Amino acid sequence: MKKKLSLIILLVVSFFISCNSYKSASNSDEAPKLANSLLWKISGKDITKPSYLYGTIHLTCDYTYTDKLRKAFDETERLVLEIDMTDPKLQANMMKLLFMKDGKTIKGMMSDEDYKTLSDFFKKQVGVDLTMFNTMKPFAITATLTQKMAVCDNGTAYETEFMKVAKEQKEEVIGLETIEDQMKVFDNIPYEEQLKSLVEMATSGMEESKKSFDKMTKYYNAEDLEGLVSVMTEQGMEADFQESLVDQRNRNWIPLIEKIATEAPAFIGVGALHLPGEQGVINLLRKQGYTVEPVY
């Protein structure tokens, strides 16, 4: 259960790098080992001006607007993210999707012992009672606790910082999917499984979760996508979730990315763990005939 716990936590970090068991991300003839880079140039086929693909992380203490990032933004005209964060209805739609239906409650799905374990832990880490989340999906609890993994008080998301650049440069922002699409990803994981993982987190203590997060962060800061894959492989999760969590979403994005990149040069930022693997965005674009190469 501990492996499943860490993965679900990392999955939320990614959602707010997206991660799964990464069975499909193992090295093969179709998915060769990738160079250490988070930034990749997309060119060839019917693209007149290159677009750029960047692997983001949604919680970091180490954001840096590097020279290569600046150059890529200067050479592109639109920002593409997993969801359009400029949508004025985004927050309201997100709130609607956070609540469970059919009278389900957090407390009603747990034993008294497990509920007390999680409730005490949540109160200690967040400072509020778990009862406030009683009718919300477990995702809301996990997301709130995940914010406590950062070793700094001013953690940020690459998407947030990219949005600032896009605003300064008066660039259009495009989403590859909707918030409804993203929330369905977590609804594919049974609530009971998510709650068991949260109890495991509470039992193990926040330090264990921070260790997993720190390990992932080290690989990310080294721009080592293969290292990130190794972390996910260690954590593991049933292959049943892999298809909906990452692989299918990647395939859904490809025709959209093709259309966008053909129309005008774009800066595309998606969770770093969507990039590697046979079903990763890099390999899928290469299969479509595009040249996708690392930028150092």
Q: Which of 35-49, 136-150, 211-225 has the highest mean pLDDT?
A: 35-49
Alpha helix segments (H runs only) across 16-86: 67-74
- Segments forming the whole domain that contains residue 89: 2-294
**Which stretch of 98-102, 136-140, 231-235 has the lowest confidence by average pLDDT?**
231-235
Q: What is the dihedral of CA 258, 259, 265, 271, to 10 degrees?
A: -50
Query: What is the structure's pLDDT at 262?
Result: 97
pTM of the predicted model as reported, rounded to 2 decimal places? 0.87
Q: Given a cut of 60, is residue 263 above it in pLDDT? A: yes
Q: Which residue has the higher pLDDT, 237 or 266?
A: 266
Q: How confident is the model at residue 16 (pLDDT cuts 50, 70, 90)?
A: very low
Per-residue model confidence (pLDDT) at position 108: 97
Average pLDDT, the chain: 86
Tens-place pLDDT, residues 170-225:
999 999 999 999 888 888 888 998 899 899 999 999 998 888 888 888 999 999 99
What is the number of domains present in the chain? 1
**What is the token pair recorded at 268?**
């595309």
Q: How many CB atoms lie within 10 A of CB 130?
A: 19
Contacts made by residues 12-15, CB under 8 angstroms, sequence distance 24+: 12/139, 12/142, 12/143, 12/146, 13/57, 13/58, 13/59, 13/146, 13/149, 13/213, 13/216, 14/57, 14/58, 14/271, 14/272, 14/273, 15/58, 15/143, 15/182, 15/185, 15/186, 15/271
Q: Are 163 and 86 in contact (CB under 8 A)?
A: yes
For the sheet with 39-43, list strands across it.
Answer: 172-175, 78-81, 266-271, 51-56, 39-43, 291-294
What is the rounded average pLDDT of the residues 151-171? 90
Residue 193 C-alpha from the chain's centroid: 19
pLDDT surpasses 50 at 8 = no
Tokens 């990647």 identify what position? 250
